[in-house]
Structure 1
Amino acid sequence: MKDHSVKIALLKTLSDGAFYSGEALGISLGISRAAISKHIKGIQEWGVDIFRIQGKGYQLAKPMNLLNEVYLKQRIHNPLYLYPVIDSTNQFLMDRTDSLESGTVCLAEYQENGRGRRGRQWYSPFGSNLYLSMYWNLEAGIAGAMGLSLVAGIAVIDALESLGISGVKLKWPNDLYFNDKKLAGILVEMSGQAGGSASLIVGMGMNLSMQVGNSEIIDQPWSCLSDVLDGESVDRNKLAVEIISCWNNALEEYEFKGMSSFVARWNQLDNFIDRSVKLLIGKREICGIDKGIDSRGAIILETEQGIESYIGGEISLRKNDL
């Protein structure tokens, strides 16, 4: 793993939003102004908006609310890993399932290879969003994990509402939406053998205050939590604590009661309920009216053929603009 300690030290200093000269930064870190300039360019490659004004120095476009390991560990009981830079929070946990305690959490400020559903890249600029994964050992096995991304999504909205944040909806099977734009994505990955327990990794990436200019690679309409809050920001540490707590509660309830106890809540939060949609299954396209989910977590569509339900790893739901 590369040594990013200088870049992290620079970001901690700059995180208050004030100006710092290259000379002062160099003295504090024991390196040259030229080295500071080089590290600043590396930080900018992480998607961080830093500018320099002659005579004043470097400044972040806005203050940065960094994750605080001490704060987090004081407020949750889950084993926790926090990394400034990581390949992928999901992958970190997947590589260690044999030695992890159920409920172990991994957070990061920046993912070099964050991923979404079906191997898509998840854009992960440093310190702008929330990248969070949890390992869970499900005794019911892989067959019992159907609908888990739906449960995780409900829990995230419960966490937001506990912080007074409303208006966020769910899109089947694994996204959170605001004003018909993607706010967050959930990725559930699992391993295990028939007849045994399943090792589950529940991961989430949520856009909090991402800059428009830094997100050209995103291939769909997106929103940030700052949009939900009319430009205000949320404390990333408080948000992480609430999501971890709500995931704990939801996953425990899911183990004991299954999907059925979450159906009514999901249908209340469904962004596309009673709206015209199209469902893509491979090359197949199915049009209908979204009628929510059933007790298995399958999407229910009212089509020309009548009421039909669909479920499967390669299904995605998109708004039908016809």
Structure 2
Amino acid sequence: MKDHSAKLSILKTLSQGGFHSGEELGDQLGVSRAAVSKHIKGIQEWGVDIFRVQGKGYQLAKPMQLLDQEVLNQALTTPVELIPIIDSTNQYLLERTDSLESGSVCLAEYQAKGRGRRGREWVSPFGSNLYLSMFWRLDAGMAAAMGLSLVVGVAIVEALEEIGLEGVKLKWPNDLYYQDKKLAGILVEMSGQAGAAANLVIGMGMNLMMSDKTEGITQPWSSLSEVAESQNIDRNQLAITMIKTLNKSLADYELQGMSGFVERWNRLDNFLGRPIKLIMGPREISGISKGINEQGAVLLETEQGIESYIGGEISLRPSSSES
């Protein structure tokens, strides 16, 4: 694994605020100012906005709070591993399912190969979002995992509400929305044998303070900073609250199944009562969204009455007839 310790050390210093000269940073690391300049360029490639003023040095364009392994360990009983630079938190856990304790978590500051549903890239700039994956061993097996992304979505919104952030909604089957724009995505990946426990890796990427200059995103998006307005977001506390809420919700799901989550989901459904269309490959079905049922299927009121739809290749969009 590539050594990023010098870049991370520079970022830790810059995150304290103010200007820091190349000489000061070089002295801390025992390297030249030219080497510091090279590291700064590498950090900028991670999506961090750093500027330099002649005679003053380097400064972050906006404040940054780094995740802290010690703070996480003190607050949580579940195993948590913070790996600042990683290809993918989901992939890291998927490769270790045989040795992990159920509830184990991997957090990162930057993902080089973050991914969403259907193999899409998940844009993952350093330190401006939250990238979290949890391993869960579901004893009831893979068939019982149907609808799990819905449970995770409910847990995450309830975690946000717990710390006073209101107005975040859910989009079936795996997104969080704020004011009709994507705030976070959920990716559940699983492995296992028929008749045996299912190994689940639940990934979540949430925009916290993403720059307007971020490239590579093709749909309208929002950041948690918009939800919080003037309230400061403590990234460590946010991660801790989410991990605790996820653990509790997954344990509830094992006992109750989807039945315990239907009302909780429908309360948060971004499109409830609104015209929508389901895109199923070449097919499009229009109707009024009526929430979900106990199988985790989306309910749609059409001319034929209320119909349910479920499947990994269904996309949901607001109807073009909606203003």
Please give the TM-score of this superposition, normalised by the length of structure 2.
0.98
Q: Which runs of 4+ in 1 moved over 3 A?
A: none
Match of 1:6 in 2: 6
Provide the C-alpha distance between the structure 1 equivalents of 2:17 and 2:178, rounded to a whole number of angstroms: 28
What does 1:96-111 correspond to in 2, within 5 Å?
Answer: 96-111=96-111
The question of whether the paired residues in 2 share the 8 Å contact of 1:153 and 1:175 is answered with yes
Match of 1:152 in 2: 152
The question of whether the paired residues in 2 share the 8 Å contact of 1:171 and 1:270 is answered with yes
The question of whether the paired residues in 2 share the 8 Å contact of 1:20 and 1:57 is answered with yes
Provide the C-alpha distance between the structure 1 equivalents of 2:19 and 2:45, rounded to a whole number of angstroms: 20
Name whichever of 104-113 and 305-314 sits farther off. Answer: 305-314
Q: Please report how far the alpha carbon of residue 321 of structure 1 lies from its aligned counterpart in structure 2 after TM superposition.
A: 2.3
The question of whether the paired residues in 2 share the 8 Å contact of 1:209 and 1:233 is answered with no
Where does the alignment leave 5 or more consecutive residues of structure 2 unmatched? none
What SS does the aligned partner of 1:212 have? Answer: coil
What does 1:1-322 correspond to in 2, within 5 Å?
Answer: 1-213=1-213, 215-322=214-321
The question of whether the paired residues in 2 share the 8 Å contact of 1:149 and 1:186 is answered with yes
Which one-letter code corresponds to 1:143 in the other structure?
A
What SS does the aligned partner of 2:191 have? Answer: strand
Which one-letter code corresponds to 1:265 in the other structure?
R
Cα deviation 1:244-280 (Å, max 9, x = unaligned)? 0000000000001100110001001000000011111
What SS does the aligned partner of 1:196 have? Answer: coil
Identity %: 67
Q: What RMSD, in angstroms, separates the aligned Cα atoms of the two structures? A: 0.8
Cα deviation 1:135-167 (Å, max 9, x = unaligned)? 000011010001100000100011111101111
Please give the TM-score of this superposition, normalised by the length of structure 1.
0.98
Where does the alignment leave 5 or more consecutive residues of structure 1 unmatched? none
Which one-letter code corresponds to 2:229 in the other structure?
D
Which one-letter code corresponds to 2:291 in the other structure?
G
Q: Please report how far the alpha carbon of residue 37 of structure 1 lies from its aligned counterpart in structure 2 after TM superposition.
A: 0.6
Q: Please report how far the alpha carbon of residue 28 of structure 1 lies from its aligned counterpart in structure 2 after TM superposition.
A: 1.3
Cα deviation 1:87-113 (Å, max 9, x = unaligned)? 100000000001111000000000000
Change (3 A) 1:105 1:162: same
Provide the C-alpha distance between the structure 2 equivalents of 1:158 and 1:230, rounded to a whole number of angstroms: 18
What SS does the aligned partner of 2:261 have? Answer: helix
What SS does the aligned partner of 2:98 have? Answer: coil
Provide the C-alpha distance between the structure 2 equivalents of 1:185 and 1:316, rounded to a whole number of angstroms: 13
Q: Please report how far the alpha carbon of residue 231 of structure 1 lies from its aligned counterpart in structure 2 after TM superposition.
A: 4.7
Which one-letter code corresponds to 1:304 in the other structure?
E
Provide the C-alpha distance between the structure 2 equivalents of 1:115 and 1:55, rounded to a whole number of angstroms: 41
Name whichever of 310-319 and 265-274 sits farther off. Answer: 310-319
What SS does the aligned partner of 1:58 have? Answer: strand
The question of whether the paired residues in 2 share the 8 Å contact of 1:298 and 1:311 is answered with yes
The question of whether the paired residues in 2 share the 8 Å contact of 1:208 and 1:233 is answered with no
